[in-house]
Amino acid sequence: MNPADDAGLSHSTVSDHSGRIAAMARTGDVDVVILGAGINGAGLFRDLCAQGVSCLIVDKGDFGSGTSAAPSRLIHGGLKYLETGEFGLVAQSTLERNLLLKNAPHYVSPLPTVIPIFSWSKGMWAALRTLLGSTSAPRSRGAILIKIGLAIYDFYGSRHRVMPRHRLVGRRRALRDMPALTRSIVATGTYYDAKISHPERLVLELITDGLEANVVAAAANYTTLVSSSNGELTFQSKGGGQSEDGGVFSVRPKLVVNAAGPWIDDVNALLGAPSKMIGGTKGSHILLKHDELVRSLAGRMLYFEADDGRICLVYDYLGLALVGSTDIQADNPDTVRCEPQEIDYLLESVRALLPGMSFERDQIVYAYSGIRPLPASDASVPGLISRDHSAPVVEPEGSRPFPIVALVGGKWTTFRGFAEEVADTVLGRLGRGRKVTTRTMAIGGGKSFPTEPAARAAWLAEARAASGVDERCLDQLLSRYGTKALQIARHQSPWSNEDRLPVASDYSTSEIDYIARNEFVEHLTDIVMRRTTLAIGGSLTMDDLKQIAAIVGRARNWGPQRISDELDAAVAQLGDKNLMRL
């Protein structure tokens, strides 16, 4: 395999996005407009583009900056959904997890998961009541119940299986394997799910894959729907010149997909179709600088029941301990943040589970929060609200000639399957058939990704010959971007690949320049929060931020005032919403 042959299309397919928007606005006609570029909207965009549908995807913020940037960063089959009898969702989730391990191996990897167990037989009757529709959640799930659940989970995960089956061990063996656990356990169960290292980049790669597949597709971030009238949607771009008319452009779609997540009802109202489809819950996470805990985890996740019965988790994410998550009913996605009481709840939960370790607020290096766009529900316990998805259709009415398909609910793991279901609905309404399946379609830098050591060594050697970049740097880029690494290594930049950020020295200035010029960057936060893991990984400093601002300023022609404003905005956002001390 020659990486030079597999580097993908020229990134002109990305950098010409303003020309694509202008061309679409000139004719005014487009098959489908997708409002919202989170994981579900991006997955659908890629699928429709692959079928040859002319498609425009827009987001009022950055791609993948809303709910899709605030998950537990797990790709999981939904073990908990067995309790509520959502067996179809578990079947789909385990399949999609296994497919993602194959299609996005550069970002998705197996995660051994340990469940601490505190009794042998508790929870059986409560689980049965929940399965039969009770509105009270099970508590103190015992070893027998967990053993049954893990056996069923293994059965559902057998399609395209890529990971081992579960095992259950007693207290003595469990404490030998993980001595930091509370001694009140009676056993532990271990099974395998998966984690995603960079969900925000996966969203971006789905969009760029769609653009590469279809020359009549277009994408625009920082673009707001301002009006819907007589079948015409008018948008205002807040970004860098994505139209020929001062950032305002209009299109006439045959069909609109509302993929706005927790903002779905707001968007439907703007489209002239008021609704009450969403009843979200808030999830918050914290990341701790806790080397002792990370060493104790040894690559495993602890998936455990807090004192109030809610499920929490802790695992090693980029060398930090990610602790989550809360599950609180909330309805305003624009104001969510990790509140002090949520921090107390998460810290108390891990203190109880790992009593020999210290957990304090000053260990927090980053926090984030988002609203899960769950279907509207009258469930008394947030954890019992279905995580399944649906796509209700609002038919044309009055002066609105297009139908609206709303993407309600769902979760990160099932985005591809959800997209396929909705794409088939859209294709049927457009009178077209499916050309290709996305089931085996690799995503972005996952294309031809070398998963075995020998294949990786061969890729690096060939990439070095093609780029002239040192293999150590290439290895870093390969881990960070998959096989897209070669494009970045070969980027002709005014900044040297040998020059590094002042403190986060594993990032090169040339790499940042590539991102600024080719990956829809409009703000400094786009780079530090979504195109890279600099912020969430806890390595970002003020000196790094200033250097990145200088690089982006040169690439995007920002003047001194714009650079200063971007720095101020980034520092304010990271400090206020993410509890990050620069």
Query: Residue 498 has what pLDDT?
Result: 84
| Cβ atoms of residues 289 and 358 within 8 Å | no
**Per-residue pLDDT reduced to its tens digit, 345-387:** 999 999 999 999 999 999 999 999 998 887 776 554 555 556 6
Same domain, 261 and 403: yes
CATH number of residue 53's parent domain: 3.50.50.60
Q: Which residues are 283's β-sheet partners?
A: 370
**Any domain includes 384:** no
Confidence of residue 330 (pLDDT cuts 50, 70, 90): confident
Report the CATH number that the domain containing residue 518 is assigned in CATH: 1.10.8.870
Provide mean pLDDT across the span 262-285: 91
- 534 and 511 within one domain: yes
Residue 442 belongs to a domain: no
Q: How many domains does the chain have?
A: 4
Q: pLDDT by residue (tens digit) across 452-492?
A: 999 999 999 999 999 999 999 999 999 999 999 999 999 99
- d(C-alpha 545, C-alpha 507), whole Å: 12
* Spatial distance between the Cα atoms of 325 and 363, rounded to a whole number of angstroms: 17
The C-alpha atoms of residue 331 and residue 328 are separated, in whole angstroms, by 10
Alpha helices by DSSP H, 262-388: 264-270, 291-297, 340-353
Examine the domain organization and report whether 26 and 141 are in the same domain: no
Which of 130, 155, 189 delimits the end of a domain? 189
- Do 572 and 454 share a structural domain? yes
Strand positions, DSSP E, 241-374: 248-258, 281-288, 301-305, 311-317, 320-324, 328-329, 364-372
Note the pLDDT of residue 4.
45
Q: Which of 370, 366, 382 has the alpha carbon at shortest distance from 336?
A: 370
DSSP 278: B
Going by C-beta distance under 8 Å and a sequence separation of 6 or more, which residues neighbour residue 530?
A: 62, 63, 64, 65, 69, 200, 201, 204
CB 72 within 8 A of CB 62: no
What letter does residue 164 receive in the DSSP assignment? P
Average pLDDT over residues 198-214: 97
Q: Indicate if 267 and 402 belong to the same structural domain.
A: yes
Round to whole Å and give the CA distance between 506 and 215.
35
- Maximum pairwise Cα distance, the chain: 71
Reported confidence tier of residue 144, pLDDT bands at 50, 70, 90: confident
Phi, psi values for residue 500, rounded to 5°: -120, 160
Mean pLDDT, range 14-42, rounded to an integer: 90
Same domain for 214 and 250: yes
pLDDT score of 377: 60
Q: Is 361 inside any structural domain?
A: yes
Q: What is the DSSP letter of 434?
A: -
Q: Which of 126, 159, 189 is the last residue of a domain?
A: 189
Do residues 180 and 317 both lie within one domain? Answer: no
424, pLDDT greater than 60: yes
Q: How far from 343 is each of 347, 350, 356, 362, CA to CA, in Å?
A: 6, 11, 19, 11
Residues 40 and 143 in one domain: no
State mean pLDDT over 425-434: 97
Verify that 395 and 267 share a domain, yes or no.
yes
Cβ atoms within 10 A of the Cβ of 62, count? 24
**Res 123: pLDDT:** 57
Residue 281 clears pLDDT 60, i.e. is over it: yes
Residue 252 lies in a domain: yes
| Helical (H) or strand (E) element with 423 | helix 415-430
Q: Is residue 410 part of a domain?
A: yes
| Structural domain includes residue 255 | yes
Model confidence at 153, pLDDT cuts 50, 70, 90, reads: confident
Q: Report yes or no on 149 lying in a domain.
A: yes
Look at residue 13 and tell me whether its pLDDT is greater than 60: no
Which contiguous run of DSSP H or E holds residue 422? helix 415-430
Query: 456 and 572 share a domain?
Result: yes
Boundaries of domain holding 133:
82-87+95-189
> What DSSP letter does each residue of 146-163 carry, written as one string?
HHHHHHHHHHHTTTT--S
419 and 482 assigned to the same domain: no
Tell me what pLDDT residue 334 has.
Answer: 84
Mean pLDDT across 72-99: 86
Residue 437 forms part of a structural domain: no
In this structure, what token pair is assigned to residue 453? 């050591």
Q: Structure pTM?
A: 0.92
The answer on pLDDT for 325 being more than 50 is: yes
Do 462 and 566 share a structural domain?
yes
Q: How confident is the model at residue 246 (pLDDT cuts 50, 70, 90)?
A: low
Nearest CA among 276, 208, 270 for reference residue 57? 208
* AA identity, residue 581: R
Residue 567 CA to residue 573 CA, distance in Å, equals 10
